[in-house]
Amino acid sequence: MLCAMDTIDCIKRVRKSALTLSLMSDSQRNSLLEKIKKALDENRFELKSANEKDINSAREKGISDAVLHRLVFDDQKINSCLDSLSSVIKLECPTGKKLAVRELDEGLILEKVSYPLGVIGMVFEARPDAMVQIISLAIKSGNGIILKGGSEAANTNKALRSVIHSALVDDDYILLLESHSDVDQMLKMEGDIDLIIPRGSNKFVKYCMDNTNIPVMGHADGICSIYVSDKADLDLAINVIVDSKIQYPAACNAVETLLINESIAPSFLPVLRDALVSNGVKIHGDEEVCKYIDVIRATDGEYDMEYLALELNIKIVKTLEEAINHIAMHSSHHTDCIISTDREEQLTFFNCVDSADVFANCSTRFADGFRFGLGAEVGISTGKLHARGPVGLEGLTTYKYQLTGTGQVVKDYTGANAKHFTHRELM
């Protein structure tokens, strides 16, 4: 539904309708996804016309190429939405899964079963294809979904919502909000919404956390580092660093800081510099780095910056430990990588770096739900609770403990002649 009327009312209808969705079988939910697929395919013209309006007004406002590129919803993007729907349909159903079955005593069976969270509130950037992906993950996991997309995509999002509604009809479990005041209202409804996922600036994530009692899944900055050990394969290091920086510099999993072991600095830095500069990368270096290569002098504050552009920092460190300490001080706990052929060093790095993704000898750009084999993602969590790193369907579920007895009472399990629990795992 489109929230033209009273927001509170609409959100309460999502809560109610989400229960119906949660009770559906996997094949019922998949048939909803099939209907959405068909409707998108058959209403390309309507979707593209709405998108054209957004594109034109974005151009008039002089919006950057990067944003325009995300905003486009053409046949290619529609096709990739259809592919993505197909792959979500194929994923294993994340709810109703028995996570544990334990006999507590004869005739007293405990089952830990996965369930939908309930209702998710999601704020996302001006990317219409993201809206389709989020709706598909919500339906597959049996959750109601409240969406607020970037305002630049308002026309496309409304058209998408109307096409999806024409396919599903009875779909109050999907709600598209249109204004910031709707978002503020949503943040207040803690009894009706189970999780807020804000994608966007750190500032916006903090705004949500400060203004709601609903749990917020933090999707914050990506300040990612790569440490190059004195035991590194240096050709491999160059390849991985270049990919981590230039393959898509605006992504949160692009590298921002390189930490180079001092003993390889004299030989490695000139080669590294050439590889980066020839790819258009602007380099900031600490005092030591400036001794070997001609770069911009880095200031301390720059180690806390997410450039999101062809720009990075290089710092010399004496040891692996110094690299780990630097990362502890400056990392956003997203993705950090070590380049080293020594397995001991890799494991020390894995154990001591407190980030969602810890990599050895590969590009930081692999930090992604699809590449990790999760099918798709609603975002990347930099928090440690509930879900960490790329968040797929599993992150949209919770569990219940279902205990079925035959009249057992606790009194019999206490005192002098207490019965004993068997605690026998049945799966």
Residues engaged in binding a copy of itself (CB under 8 A): 19, 22-23, 102, 104, 108, 110, 113, 117-118, 194-195, 209, 213, 215, 233, 236, 239-240, 242-244, 247-248, 346, 350-352, 354-363, 365-367, 371-373, 383-386, 388-390, 398-411, 413-414, 421, 423
- Minimum distance from CB of 273 to a copy of itself (Å)? 19
- Nearer to a copy of itself by Cβ, of 60 and 425: the residue is 425
Backbone φ and ψ for 261, nearest 5 degrees, come out as -65, 135
- Nearer to a copy of itself by Cβ, of 52 and 399: the residue is 399
- Minimum distance from CB of 161 to a copy of itself (Å)? 27
- Nearer to a copy of itself by Cβ, of 216 and 314: the residue is 216
**Beta strand pairing call for 108-116 and 98-105:** antiparallel
Could you tell me which residues come within 8 angstroms of residue 254 by beta carbon, excluding any fewer than 6 positions away?
222, 224, 244, 245, 247, 248, 308, 364, 365
Can you read off the two tokens belonging to residue 41? 């395919």
- Nearer to a copy of itself by Cβ, of 5 and 418: the residue is 418
- Minimum distance from CB of 167 to a copy of itself (Å)? 26
Residue 75 contacts residue 44 (beta carbons within 8 Å) = yes
- Minimum distance from CB of 282 to a copy of itself (Å)? 20
Residue 284 contacts residue 245 (beta carbons within 8 Å) = no
Distance, in Å, from the CA atom of 380 to the CA atom of 368, rounded to the nearest integer, reads 8
Give the containing element (helix H, strand E) for 141.
none
- Nearer to a copy of itself by Cβ, of 213 and 319: the residue is 213
Distance, in Å, from the CA atom of 31 to the CA atom of 130, rounded to the nearest integer, reads 20
- Nearer to a copy of itself by Cβ, of 148 and 334: the residue is 334
Residue 65 gets the label, from left (phi > 0), alpha (psi -120 to 50) or beta, of alpha
- Minimum distance from CB of 172 to a copy of itself (Å)? 17
- Nearer to a copy of itself by Cβ, of 185 and 361: the residue is 361
Number of Cβ within 10 Å of residue 424's Cβ equals 12
Distance of CA 372 to the CA centre of its chain: 12
- Minimum distance from CB of 292 to a copy of itself (Å)? 24
- Minimum distance from CB of 249 to a copy of itself (Å)? 12
